[in-house]
Structure 1
């Protein structure tokens, strides 16, 4: 049996993030073979992952990142079971590393199959499930492309937002971030009126009509009054029509237009861990 030194154990711990005793046991089982010990730890992770497959991974970190050309962005959420793990510096660092890989992948499947330090992203998640002892998985995977893409991550990594502008102009970075902060704070259901699902519109009209009937309004007046209420709904719940949180005397679209009359918000993605 090979003699396992403290230095070897520490090297394996730094390489994998596993606990000292787990690393020592893996090296003993592998008879000192470093690569084999890593494989043993991975297999342990797979066993833990299987045991925890039905657990709820509702905590985690939501990370948004944008490419160097600022025309493409991605949001991923690295999910876990507890807030304690979600706040761990190593966990958050891993989430940022993975977001960088996700930026280059065209889909979630391609991302999970991508290389991460000699293993796939999915294998890394399985390994970390074994190391941490919690279910670790990728939840959200959202991408956005536009002439200019900005991003914002809310304190605590609980909300991440991407916003797209129709032009890349001076000041676009600050404005895109402001709009992303708006989306983070106000949680709009769509970019504009056209983006609101027809079923939601119908439901809001019916709710408005029921309220008006209870107020005793004549039936022939309901449609027109309900349309007015619907406009208010769009103003409160669609991003470009919302009052800008830094200056509620103008809408978000009016604020963005300060960059130029032909500059507008063309898309956004928002991921929240709640």
Structure 2
């Protein structure tokens, strides 16, 4: 337990788990500097503490914006924490930026979590899956299992918290949030977001330039 622990190992473990420096050092000592084993140890401890914090009220935070290159996609997101002190921390503001970029990159995302998906959307998805031709001859028990699996997959596609983090596909957005709860010591919530796509919802008139020129000449 008195072994010297590499500062690079501690830094990597903090980035991967969001745990405190002393906890990371202890985890590396226990795991004999095995990073993966240390991650597992800290998930049982550090992320469990994040779960407890997740029920606390978060009314401070930031509204972050992201405009993608070319200015054709823009995102506004409200990220909440418990205090203005944490809202001003670099790590919290960087998290808001990462989430904004995630929303811009994942255009199928419509809701924050599974709890936010309206019941009528779920029922509609079930009706669509149930009517597909490849299930017509399946026994009811098998058909129900296939539909349930497809619905689960579909709902994950449209919810932000279930998306793989674009900067580290080994974790999802929900895990990223938990890491920052453990790191900053406060509850963190994505409250709402809006995505703007240039021209979305407009009827775009298509021009036939050849016919237009001929019409002008005649």
1:235-262 Cα deviation digits (max 9, x unpaired): xxxxxxxxxxxxxxxxxxxxxxxxxxxx
Deviation at residue 4 of structure 1 after TM alignment: 4.5
Q: So what's the TM-score if we normalise by structure 2?
A: 0.59
Segment drifting more, 37-46 vs 25-34: 37-46
Matched with 1:112 is: 161
Matched with 1:3 is: 3
- Ranges in structure 2 where 5+ consecutive residues have no aligned partner: 114-158, 205-218
Matched with 1:147 is: 199
- Equivalences, count: 152
Verify the 8 A CA contact 1:42 1:126 in the aligned structure 2. Answer: no
**What is the rounded CA distance, in whole Å, between the counterparts of 1:92 and 1:115 in structure 2?**
20
Q: Give the strand-richer structure, 1 or 2.
A: 1
Matched with 1:100 is: 101
Verify the 8 A CA contact 2:82 2:188 in the aligned structure 1. Answer: yes
1:99-146 Cα deviation digits (max 9, x unpaired): 111112222343222222121110011122122221122111222223
Larger RCO, structure (CA 8 Å, separation 6 or more): 2
Q: So what's the TM-score if we normalise by structure 1?
A: 0.48
Verify the 8 A CA contact 1:77 1:138 in the aligned structure 2. Answer: yes
**What is the rounded CA distance, in whole Å, between the counterparts of 1:15 and 1:82 in structure 2?**
24
Give the root-mean-square deviation of aligned CA atoms: 2.8
Larger Rg: 1
Cα 1:127–1:17 change in 2 (3 A) is: closer
| Alignment of 1:22 onto 2:23 | yes
SS at match of 1:65: strand
1:179-209 Cα deviation digits (max 9, x unpaired): xxxxxxxxxxxxxxxxxxxxxxxxxxxxxxx
Cα 1:76–1:29 change in 2 (3 A) is: farther
- Ranges in structure 1 where 5+ consecutive residues have no aligned partner: 149-163, 168-274
1:58-89 Cα deviation digits (max 9, x unpaired): 11121111222423222222221111010001
Verify the 8 A CA contact 2:5 2:33 in the aligned structure 1. Answer: no
